[in-house]
Amino acid sequence: MILKTLSEAVGVSGDEASVRAILIDAVRQHVDEIDVDALGNVLAFKRGTAQPGAGSHAGAEAPSASEPRRLRVMLDAHMDEVGLMVAGHDGDGFLRVRSVGGIDARLLPGALLQVGPEQIPGVIGVKPIHLLDEGEDKKVPQLKDLVVDIGARSKDEAKKLTPMGTYAAFVTQFREMGPTVSGKAFDDRAGCAVLVELLKGERFSFDLYAAFTVQEEVGLRGARVAAYAIDPDCAFALEGTIADDIPKDKDVSPTTELGQGPAITVMDRSFIADRRLVRLLTDTARELGIPYQFKQPGVGGTDAGALHLAREGVPSVTVAVPCRYIHSPVALLNLDDFDNTVRLMREALSRITWGTLRRN
């Protein structure tokens, strides 16, 4: 299962080489061209079947006859995961770290890590409960209070093994739990796995540009570069998103729920989804009986925040696999949601023409 391989690979933002190699190997035989840009994005191209400029509906704004081209559709999924970076060394050989991407320090004490390219085993340590001062047990630990123990016996040994800037990633084994699976980095290895499945399928009428991007977790950086290079007519960001359908003190709507189908974003903190693409997705889902849900508006951000601002602007939307406990050492997703995300995207993409992007 490609999702298992991707989940267990290490690829903290800025250090995505291992994930990049897996993805290149997975899609090489299913695309016409593949390249890696200066930032490390994997850019793949799959030629469309329609004649350049064909497929427009009456009244649609298609390319002029003097400059015909097929519709360009970009599919994006980011390769990077949240993690840690060595920022200092204590006299006793412990590592001080900083977060790469958004991590809740409450989740970290006791977490297992692999540190550096040699994947040195490490564990995140905190003061034992029986040594806490009065009231300390009521305080939320902060990252500056935590250390990483790699078994080094001195500061010099720790520095030699893990110099400043060394990456550390969570160690989590992928597991099947009935219709649910657990693993790390489903944000966004789930989206990467969806994109791999789409590339393995039949060609579409349009030119398909797939971008496996870098550094989303630290500012949507790879997507900005990729979208500028591709210059697409529309774009879909494929994601693993927050599912907070767990018991709560207050009766509030969850962001998304496991088992309720792919989540379509209408708005988050980084962009407002193009309504034409939202309509395409929902109409397709309803007609084919594919379950879907809307992600609660205003929550989070995705590569679509960079995609839609490229060049003169790109109509964009995000479709995601709901995942519990993202940005933590372990996450859960429902395989039916994953399969339905692949199906919804494949069916919706098969319906795209120049007319889809016509202004109402």
Which residues are annotated as catalytic?
216
d(CA 352, CA 349): 5
First to last CA, the chain: 42
H-helix segments, 203-352: 221-230, 275-288, 304-307, 335-349
Residue 242, amino acid: I
Cβ atoms < 10 Å from Cβ of 328: 18
CA 201 from centroid of its chain's CA atoms: 21
Q: How many CA atoms lie within 13 A of 39 on its CB side?
A: 24
Backbone angles phi, psi at 22, to 5 degrees: -65, -45
- Closest listed residue to residue 106, CA positions, set 146, 140, 144: 140
d(CA 345, CA 327): 25
Cβ atoms < 10 Å from Cβ of 273: 24
Helix, strand and coil percent figures for the chain, each rounded to 5: 30, 25, 45
- Closest listed residue to residue 19, CA positions, set 10, 28, 31: 10
Tokens for 100?
């790469």
CB 149 within 8 A of CB 125: yes
CB 169 within 8 A of CB 81: yes
Q: Which residues of 53-73 are buried (b: 16+ CB within 10 A; e: fewer)?
A: bbbbeeeeebeeeeeeebbbb
